[in-house]
Structure 1
Amino acid sequence: MTKIAIYARVSTEGQAEEEVPINGQIDECRKFAAEKGWEVTEVFTDAGFSGRTDDRPSFRRMIDIIKSSPNHKPFDIILCWRSNRLFRSVEHRLAYARIFKRHSIRFVAMHEPEFEGSSAMFMETVLAAADELYVSQVSEDTLRGLKQIAMAGYSTGGKAATGYRNVRKVAGLKPNGEPIMRTGWEIDPDYAPRVKKAFEMCANGSSGPEIIKATGVVTSPSSLVSLLRNRAYLGERIYNVMKQVDGKTRRRANTKPEDIIRKENAHEAIISPELFDKVQAVLERKRPHMQGRVQNSKRIYLLTGLLWCKEHQALYIGKTNATLNYYVCGAKHKLGDKISVCRTVKKEIIEEFILRNLQTHIFTDKRIRAGLEHLAKEKVKNKQEDDRERKEILAKIKQVEVELKRFYDAIAAGVSPDNLAQPIEERTAQKNKLSLKLAEIDRQREIDLKIPDITDAMISSIKNKITEMLAASPEEIKALLPQFIEKIELDGNITNISYVVSDEQNVACYWRPQGDSNPRSPP
């Protein structure tokens, strides 16, 4: 029998009267489970906790039970009255859906269609693309402002380079006459001479350890090299040399030269250009030069486990020779050309073909728009619940303030403060707790993903972001494909792609395994 866990929640005591109370949620879930023939083995309840946070006692206990049972499932299904009882944001829902999936546990909301498997993966991809789009827009605005600050010769944040120290300066006046303050660099009298000495010692042939011991400007040879290559000591302000890419791994990549900000005479120089050039020549002579043949990186075959030969019902496997990467039918590899006549398939061509089909048939405008509309509805529901929570909290704060006023009025009328000290302390603590809850709601609303109006241009931008995501590292793409593709079956010159998503299941295209990089669609 299928074993299930029921989860029920209300945000506050007052909301229990407006919404389905916890006991009502549990009763409905039990009835639903009985109709399905499921056995209820666990019931988790959180009363007075917002679904916006995952820091809820029973919710955390449920997750801990799941994670602490790696070899067996504590239950097969988590059942809720509605999904917003378990999660208040799509972000949380998708994050924990991955945990449930790793442990083969389904999540079912009684009054909603299931949102898991390929659908969850699709929504997660759209969400990530929308989030990246919004963040990139904010980042562009922020970067534009920081570039202007750097072009004016001021610091864009962080510590000053060794040998300098931060100092606040007036950079101008606001329309109301208030000063605009910016951070600049000035010579640090303690460390600037040490930095200059480090450059001079390097130019005269001293070793790294000798320079570090004599100056103490850094603690390691690699840090010393970075210091000696820093053009800031010539008085230059350099900004935006590196940029962050790939929101998941936060890798850093070089910025285009035209996007780099270089401002001369931004601050006082510590060394002369002649000394700097002499040190660069010394460092270049000491730089180790790679010799010999560079090893080829390991080849990742994206379609391993997905690509099938229909004739022999065998998986294709990846093979590499001196010049080519290709897929070969497992039967051909095992039995030889005389027994199996299956053609080999060029790796790059078929992988590009499959990724293009994935974009064409899964990440369509219609699907992306539907996904964004779902996210927008989730945000509206979250705002409505936030408004209810805020209204109740504000009412309670007002009630506590009335009670505190009565106590203070009583003291003013002659009642001993000692007699009212304890109730005043209790009400004050209650007010502080309520104020913290209110502040947390407001803070979370500020950092929520802000989805702009859904337009054709936005959908086009998200499709471009998804294209970038499908051009990620081979390891990431290989892990992603099984979430959307069930099987790719080669039948002569025809490729049948079976998608995991319920509709558009069988997408057939003619495929020419050898030489044709533009497969034809069937008539």
Structure 2
Amino acid sequence: MTRVAIYARVSTEGQADEEVPINGQIDECRKFAADKGWEVTEVFTDAGFSGRTDDRPAFRRMIEIIKTSPNPKPFDIILCWRSNRLFRSVEHRLAYSRVFRRHSIRFVAMHEPEFEGASAMFMETVLAAADELYVSQVSEDTLRGLKQIAMAGYSTGGKAATGYRNVRKVAGLKPNGEPILRTGWEPDPDYAPKIKRAFEMCASGASGPEIIKATGVVTSPSSLVSLLRNRAYLGERIYNVMKQVDGKTRRRANSKPEDIIRKENAHEALISLELFDAVQDVLVRRRPDTKGKSKQSPQTYLLTGLLWCSEHQAFYTGNTNSERNYYVCSAKRKLGAKISPCRNVKKETMEEFILDNLQKHVFTEKRIRAGLEAIAREKIKNKQEDDKERKELALKINQTGIELKRFYEAIASGVNPENLAQPIEERSALKNKLYLQLAEIDRQREIDLQIPDITDTMVEDIQEKYIGIFLTSPEKLKAILPQFIERIELDGTKAKIKYFAAEEQKVGSYWRPQGVGDKRLSFTISVKIPDGIYIRQTCRK
């Protein structure tokens, strides 16, 4: 029997999409699995975690089980209510889909079509990009509303800064006359004096440990520095200074100056501007000199396992010396330059050349539009099937109603009601069951995969999202590239790039695992290698 692991998640983010409760997701997945004849062996749940990060306890435990369990794995399928419960970014979907395939694990989303063949990866990432685009739009709308709240001087959520406490205030009236309540800050009588004392001690030259011991406002020197730099103690409301740019590491970056909200006199100040400036001068003088101490991060060779030497039938591997980073033929490394005199390849030049070709030949508007159209056709097909099933249910309900009416007419004409009690009960139960099935179809239609009208802007936005993949960390990019490239064969001045993608994308109603019988849809292009990609000829033949 096919074994299934269910994964369910809800987030804490203020998302506009319908957040189906975890128990509801699990119940629907169990019913779906039972209808397929699958056995549910594991259930993984993450409550209160965003799908934009893969740093989720149950998710990490599930991945660890997949990677470390010996064959056969404890489950064959990962089943989700919808794919955005498992992934909220294209990068994560690409990286972990590769993990699933390597360990022969199938991924199924209840309310999304399945795709068949090697082109499924392209189709799935189109779907993921469309979903991520929708989430980004929702986030922008949410951020716009939060900016308005911050500009009015109110809190956008979370705990107040140490030294303040949250208090509810009336910010206006609704059209129906009810008050609009917002959260503001007021000085905390227990901690506000300690904050002021911490600033005064720092300005007078006290050390970090001395301030912490005397005030207890924080527990570590680094936290103390952050507190002493916080302009909120001047009465300012500052919002959107940083933005999250990496869901996996939660890395953040400075927002553009025009996107930062600064509201003066938003709440009562705890210190004066003169005292704040004096403390900043002290912190600058105490800042350690880190000039020249940064270390270069280790090199990541993106094309390892992809770059192939046609002459010696061997892969190129990465190599770094004091002068440069480059790829070298592994046959040359084993046999020596005299026996294998192929040239070394410049790392940065070769990687830039391949990424440029990938954008030009795979992430094209034509392919993305074809993928969206295929998904839309699948949605229309599902709707037609729902309409057919709905019509059949309506006929059965009508027929059951006619039978019940005849029973009641028979009773009215003198038939003993006890003789018809069981048939009436059976027909009534059947009618209620049919109505429930009809209601379920209507409910599923409301929450089913939503594909907006395909416009040039939508296609361009998804293409931009694909291209943005190349701006991710080298470690992620190295894991993603094998999803699209099978091999890069170098032969003198030419390169053959074999891609995992098809000109025509096909949607299938069933999944076909890799292995025997799986025709990997692919295409190969031959391109001229640009001048300067080779380092030098190490020796003559």
Contact 1:319/1:325, CA 8 A, preserved across alignment:
yes
2:507 aligned with 1:508: no
2:58: which partner in 1? none
Aligned-residue Cα RMSD (Å) equals 4.3
Instruction: Give the superposition deviation at 1:202.
Output: 1.4
Q: Distance in 2 between matches of 1:186 and 1:377?
A: 56
Q: Distance in 2 between matches of 1:144 and 1:377?
A: 34
**Given the alignment, which residue of 28, 32, 47 partners 1:50?**
28
CA separation of 1:377/1:170 partners in 2, compared to 1, >3 Å: closer, same or farther? farther
Q: Distance in 2 between matches of 1:303 and 1:233?
A: 51
2:60 aligned with 1:61: no
Q: Distance in 1 between matches of 2:366 and 2:132?
A: 20
Deviations 1:415-452 (A, max 9, x none): xxxxxxxxxxxxxxxx9xx99xx99x979966x76443
1:15: which partner in 2? none
CA separation of 1:99/1:187 partners in 2, compared to 1, >3 Å: closer, same or farther? same
CA separation of 1:142/1:493 partners in 2, compared to 1, >3 Å: closer, same or farther? same
Q: Distance in 2 between matches of 1:310 and 1:198?
A: 68
2:233 aligned with 1:215: no
| Amino acid across the alignment from 1:514 | G
2:403: which partner in 1? none
Q: Identity, % of aligned pairs?
A: 65
Contact 2:2/2:38, CA 8 A, preserved across alignment:
no
Deviations 1:290-322 (A, max 9, x none): 154432211111111111111111211222233
| Amino acid across the alignment from 1:263 | K
Task: Pick 1 or 2: higher relative contact order, CA cutoff 8 A, min separation 6.
Answer: 2
Instruction: Give the superposition deviation at 1:260.
Output: 1.1
CA separation of 1:180/1:232 partners in 2, compared to 1, >3 Å: closer, same or farther? same
Q: Distance in 1 between matches of 2:113 and 2:285?
A: 67
Q: Distance in 1 between matches of 2:197 and 2:281?
A: 17
1:70: which partner in 2? 69
- Taking structure 2 as the reference length, the TM-score comes to 0.67
Instruction: Give the superposition deviation at 1:467.
Output: 0.5
| Amino acid across the alignment from 1:60 | V
| Amino acid across the alignment from 2:477 | I
2:492: which partner in 1? 492
Contact 2:41/2:74, CA 8 A, preserved across alignment:
no
Instruction: Give the superposition deviation at 1:289.
Output: 1.8
How many residue pairs align between the two structures? Answer: 422
Instruction: Give the superposition deviation at 1:325.
Output: 2.0
CA separation of 1:327/1:122 partners in 2, compared to 1, >3 Å: closer, same or farther? same
Contact 2:3/2:38, CA 8 A, preserved across alignment:
no
1:127: which partner in 2? 127
Instruction: Give the superposition deviation at 1:508.
Output: 0.5
CA separation of 1:148/1:343 partners in 2, compared to 1, >3 Å: closer, same or farther? same
Q: Distance in 2 between matches of 1:467 and 1:53?
A: 39
Instruction: Give the superposition deviation at 1:351.
Output: 1.0
Q: Distance in 2 between matches of 1:340 and 1:187?
A: 75
Contact 2:239/2:262, CA 8 A, preserved across alignment:
yes
CA separation of 1:262/1:376 partners in 2, compared to 1, >3 Å: closer, same or farther? same
- Taking structure 1 as the reference length, the TM-score comes to 0.69
1:429-508 to structure 2, matched below 5 A, reads 450-502=450-502, 505-508=523-526
Contact 1:89/1:379, CA 8 A, preserved across alignment:
no
Deviations 1:456-512 (A, max 9, x none): 110110000010112211111111111221110011111001123355511111113
Q: Distance in 2 between matches of 1:59 and 1:474?
A: 39
CA separation of 1:214/1:382 partners in 2, compared to 1, >3 Å: closer, same or farther? farther
| Amino acid across the alignment from 1:509 | V
SS of residue paired to 1:470: helix
CA separation of 1:101/1:478 partners in 2, compared to 1, >3 Å: closer, same or farther? same
2:23: which partner in 1? none
| Amino acid across the alignment from 1:329 | C
Q: Distance in 2 between matches of 1:199 and 1:93?
A: 46
CA separation of 1:59/1:370 partners in 2, compared to 1, >3 Å: closer, same or farther? farther
Q: Unaligned 5+ residue runs, structure 2?
A: 5-25, 45-61, 88-92, 398-431, 504-521, 535-541
| Amino acid across the alignment from 1:50 | E
Q: Distance in 1 between matches of 2:67 and 2:480?
A: 26
| Amino acid across the alignment from 1:348 | E
Q: Distance in 2 between matches of 1:130 and 1:506?
A: 27
Deviations 1:141-167 (A, max 9, x none): 111111121112111111111111122
CA separation of 1:270/1:380 partners in 2, compared to 1, >3 Å: closer, same or farther? farther
CA separation of 1:54/1:472 partners in 2, compared to 1, >3 Å: closer, same or farther? farther
Deviations 1:108-165 (A, max 9, x none): 99xx998366433223322332122111111111111111211121111111111111
2:106 aligned with 1:103: no
Q: Distance in 2 between matches of 1:229 and 1:214?
A: 19
Instruction: Give the superposition deviation at 1:219.
Output: 2.2
CA separation of 1:371/1:62 partners in 2, compared to 1, >3 Å: closer, same or farther? farther
Instruction: Give the superposition deviation at 1:373.
Output: 3.5
CA separation of 1:215/1:324 partners in 2, compared to 1, >3 Å: closer, same or farther? same
Q: Distance in 2 between matches of 1:164 and 1:444?
A: 48
